[in-house]
Structure 1
């Protein structure tokens, strides 16, 4: 303790927590937050809780659907680049896409940001990304928390997580129970890695290859950092538009575990998803990762989304119409497989089987 501290006494700021900086951050983020408000939002920024007036009359039997997630080690790339204005989109996407697959419309979102040292401009940048994700999803950012935690996080480190609540009519909940052999699996493209597999991606690019975030790779047409910070796509608006006209039987958000682990989560017993490899374009980052890391195809498919961010399962008679509706919303859509009876019987656990080959680039280095 210094002589000044002995004379005047310690303050919270001297302990590493700057309340004034926190207040500045709140002022800087207010515009971003308010830009997401829906008419159901009843509170302004700064209250102890966010109030949202659900119009229950719109639903016969409203069911609330919740989801929470973070961004994972993609945050490390943002820190390496000192670029924080898009990582919030990923946080929102990971939550709202998850509840979307059950047929829910996201209503509101809350974020939690923990920092080692609170820099108002950095916090405001992160929240601006959260707000952008909420605008893309059509949900309101009605609350959040910024926690300055010196001694727990390094000064430049932070973590962000989010929580969303949506609503769906009970009779319209999508749970995969009606999926049967003959149904078609449609794939909606990803923008790249989204927010999964970054521990392996960082190991390949930074540790194995010795690249840094500024390394320009001709195969990608951009720097490693630009590629790795590409935001996760949010599928809410186009898919909700389809749900207004077509009964979707099942959906899977392709996150950690890839197609291999995520599609079976929505399938009933006794069926398997037969995925036809090579039926959709692969973003270059996956071929580059496979080649540079000498990653086996099976490992690629169970770690990364490999170009498909959302799988949609519909009856064969509806597949063409769903594709048309998505195209009208500016979405691409590819038939990537079918549902079959399980070769192991009616009580067998659902699984994915692969047919064909992926069109990895010739840089694979066989």
Structure 2
């Protein structure tokens, strides 16, 4: 043990203990193809046996953002890892790709092994939901950079898809129906605004988050810390069974920025308000800040976390299939001719 390094605020023994504690969570994510355990210099994954004719690797990276501030206040750290995984693997799945593996990066002010293990537990839970392996990562202790008790969390994932099965929006056409999959809540974007609206500035924040709101059916903190839904298995199942022409993950930028990303030139998305359930948390946020409707749709997912453009002839059948599987899904609009963009009416 380096006493000199420890005197500077970095405890390497705590790092060893954190790795020991997280191994039980990491091991449950292992899938065929994993060739290494955590602790090496690189995560190894073999793709040769996956039986892809023309394999294309698809990657995605993201972090949790200032939603972490809610976890700090509540001292609850076992769900934000799922947020980190979700923000990466949901993006990958939009291309029709199956996530293979994930790596995380945790930067802490003070390495407290039990807390780091809880963070990684959330990452591992997310990987299990996505069907991918957690094959590595990094925990960096950075005293003087992050305050004791705070941390940042980011990660990246790599997936795979056959080249002829890539979903890039090129097959999208006028008349395609838009089917949305429900979100679990705010997911992981817009939290700088959320914290401002709830006046989370350090003064009795724990009491504010402990306030029960009947419309939400839970406390403010419980609502704000609900983890991002992982849509991977549902989405890949639908792509296998139906004609899915385009997919959009509704994250930062909401409807207005994300939906056009899945559309070719000359097509617009027409969204029909009232065709799905806008979750109570969004109505509450809009009222708290007197926020314009455009700003709401340009910031939040409004209750729709994933959107697909599908063949009109298959839309009703897909909706029935989803509801038979207890998936909360809605026909919320259609593709029309026009400049690339979104009409919400």
TM tier, smaller: over 0.9
**Is this contact kept in 2: 1:276–1:336, CA < 8 A?**
yes
Q: Gaps spanning 5+ residues in structure 2: where?
A: none
Alignment of 1:178-217 (within 5 A): 178-206=171-199, 212-217=208-213
**2:214 corresponding residue in structure 1:** 218
Moved more, 319-328 or 200-209: 200-209
CA deviation after TM superposition for structure 1 residue 57, in Å: 5.5
Q: Does 1:135 align with 2:128?
A: yes
Q: Does 1:108 align with 2:101?
A: yes
Alignment of 1:40-59 (within 5 A): 40-55=33-48, 58-59=51-52
Show CA shifts across 1:108-166 (max 9, x none): 00000000000001100000000000000000000000000011111111000010000
**1:352 corresponding residue in structure 2:** 342
CA deviation after TM superposition for structure 1 residue 56, in Å: 5.2
Aligned counterpart for 1:281 among listed residues 277, 280, 290: 277
CA deviation after TM superposition for structure 1 residue 235, in Å: 0.3
CA distance, structure 1, for counterparts of residue 49 and residue 265 of structure 2: 34
Q: Does 1:155 align with 2:154?
A: no
**Is this contact kept in 2: 1:242–1:325, CA < 8 A?**
no
**1:89 corresponding residue in structure 2:** 82
Aligned counterpart for 1:257 among listed residues 253, 260, 265: 253
**Is this contact kept in 2: 1:239–1:326, CA < 8 A?**
no
**Is this contact kept in 2: 1:90–1:194, CA < 8 A?**
yes
CA deviation after TM superposition for structure 1 residue 329, in Å: 3.2
CA distance, structure 1, for counterparts of residue 112 and residue 302 of structure 2: 36
Count of aligned pairs between the two proteins: 341
Larger Rg: 1
Aligned counterpart for 1:333 among listed residues 307, 329, 333: 329
CA deviation after TM superposition for structure 1 residue 261, in Å: 1.0
CA deviation after TM superposition for structure 1 residue 247, in Å: 2.5
| Secondary structure at the counterpart of residue 303 of structure 1 | coil
CA deviation after TM superposition for structure 1 residue 321, in Å: 2.4
CA distance, structure 1, for counterparts of residue 298 and residue 49 of structure 2: 40
**1:172 corresponding residue in structure 2:** 165
CA deviation after TM superposition for structure 1 residue 328, in Å: 3.6
- The normalised TM-score by structure 2 is 0.96
Residue 57 to residue 24, structure 1, CA distance change in 2 (3 Å): closer
Moved more, 322-331 or 117-126: 322-331
Q: Gaps spanning 5+ residues in structure 1: where?
A: 1-8, 343-347, 356-366
**1:146 corresponding residue in structure 2:** 139
RMSD across aligned positions (CA): 1.5
| Secondary structure at the counterpart of residue 73 of structure 1 | helix
**Is this contact kept in 2: 1:187–1:308, CA < 8 A?**
yes
**Is this contact kept in 2: 1:238–1:329, CA < 8 A?**
no
- The normalised TM-score by structure 1 is 0.91
CA distance, structure 1, for counterparts of residue 158 and residue 173 of structure 2: 30
